[in-house]
Amino acid sequence: MLRTLYTEDPAFATVPTIFTIHNIGYQGLFPPDILPLLMLPWDLFTITKLEFYGKVNFLKGALTYSDFITTVSRKYSQEIQTAEYGFGLEGVLRSRSAIVAGILNGVDYGEWSPEKDKFISANYSLDDLSGKAICKQSLLREYGLDPESKLPVIGIVSRFAAQKGFDLISQVADRLMRQELMVVALGTGDRPYEELFRRLSKQYPGKFGVKIAYDNAMAHKIEAGVDMFLMPSRYEPCGLNQIYSLKYGTVPIVRATGGLDDTVESWDGKRGTGFKFVDYDGEALLDTILEATTAFKDKAGWQMLMRNGMSRDFSWNVSAREYVKVYERARMIRTGMSS
C-alpha cells in the first residue's frame, strides 16, 4: 500500500519499511480477488510482485517491497535462502540478499532467571547452584517420579509437532527410555505425538512423565528442575527455550539449525554450552543424548558446562543495538542518503 496507493503522499513517500520474518512457512495465501477488496491495483498480480502459483502471497509482497528484511537469527537468514527452508520464496530472498539480516531474539531475564523466578521451589545463581537440586526434587514429585533419583533428567517444553523434531523422538523413543535417564515433557499438539508421550508414561512409569497442557508456571519449573533440555527441531527460526535453559544451568541438546545453532556452542570438555547434532536423523539424536548423559557423570565438568551457559547474555541489549543499525540503514535507503 505504501508503494502503490500512497506513493505520491508526501507524508509516506520517504517512510522506510522493515519486515521481520519469524517463520517463513506461514505466508498469507489468498485468491486473486483479494486485491480489489483491499483497493490494491491488479498490476501487483505478477510473478515479480505478489503472484505465487496463481494466488496472492502477502509475504512475497512484503519481501519484494520492504527496504530491509530481518529474521530472528543469523543462521535462519541463511537457511531461508535455500530450497530446503525457503518454502518457495528462497529465490525472492536470494535476489534481495544484500538487505537481509539475521538478528537474534532477546529474552527477558526479569521473567526468566533462576535468581528471581517466582514459580520455582528455590532460587539459585551462577555463584550458588545449590537451589537447583531442590528444584529437581520438587519437579520430580510433581511428575510422580522418584525425587531422590540421581539419574539425569531431560526436559521438553514444546508444541508437539513434526517441525519440533518429535518424529525423530518417535523413531528412538523406546531405545532412549532403556537408557539411564528420565524424561519430563509438557505441551500440546498433534495427536500422534500426544499419544506417543502418553504411551511412554504408561510403559515407563518411573522414568517418563508427561503433562498434556499449556502451563507457564510448569514451564518455569521444568527449566529450573531438569539437567538437560531437548530441542531436536527440523527448523527453528530462533527458539527461546534453549536460551532460557542456558540461564537456568540446564544444558541444551539441540539440532544445529537456525537460532539453536547460533546460541548453543558444542561442549568440548572445557569450552561450550551444550550438545548439537547436524543430521536430521533419529540415530544422530540418540547419539547426542548419550554423549550428554556420559558427560553428566563428570560432576566437576558438568558444573563448568552449566556455568558456561549461565554466564551468556542473550538479553535484548545486544539485539536492540542491531535493530537500530538496521533502522538507520533503511532510512538511508529510502531517502537516498549514502551509507
87-114 pLDDT, tens digit per residue, is: 999 999 999 999 999 999 999 999 999 9
- φ/ψ of 292, rounded to 5, equals -70, -45
pLDDT above 70 (res 338): no
pLDDT above 60 (res 339): no
Average pLDDT rounded to a whole number, residues 148-172: 95
- Identify whether the C-beta of residue 231 lies closer than 8 Å to the C-beta of residue 158: yes
Tens digit of each residue's pLDDT (9 = 90 or more) over 260-270: 999 999 999 99
Helix (H) or strand (E) holding 18: strand 18-21
Residue 97 DSSP code = G
Amino acid at 179: Q
Q: Which residues contact 261 (CB under 8 A, 6 or more apart)?
A: 73, 75, 254, 276
Q: Which residues contact 310 (CB under 8 A, 6 or more apart)?
A: 125, 126, 246, 247, 248, 249
User: Which string of b and e fits 112-133 if b means at least 16 CB within 10 Å?
Assistant: bbbeebeebbbbbeeeeeebbe
Tens digit of each residue's pLDDT (9 = 90 or more) over 35-74: 999 999 999 999 999 999 999 999 999 999 999 999 999 9
* Cα distance between residue 71 and residue 19, in whole Å: 8
Residue 218: strand, helix, or coil: helix
Q: Which residues contact 339 (CB under 8 A, 6 or more apart)?
A: 329, 332, 333
Tens digit of each residue's pLDDT (9 = 90 or more) over 206-229: 999 999 999 999 999 999 999 999
Residue 90: strand, helix, or coil: helix
* Cα distance between residue 249 and residue 225, in whole Å: 10
Average pLDDT rounded to a whole number, residues 243-265: 98
* Cα distance between residue 202 and residue 187, in whole Å: 17
pLDDT of residue 337: 58
Average pLDDT rounded to a whole number, residues 12-25: 92
To the nearest whole number, what is the mean pLDDT of the chain? 95
Sketch out the chain's domains with CATH numbers.
Answer: 18-105+318-335 (3.40.50.2000), 130-313 (3.40.50.2000)
- Identify whether the C-beta of residue 104 lies closer than 8 Å to the C-beta of residue 259: yes
Residue 306's closest CA among 167, 127, 170, 155?
127
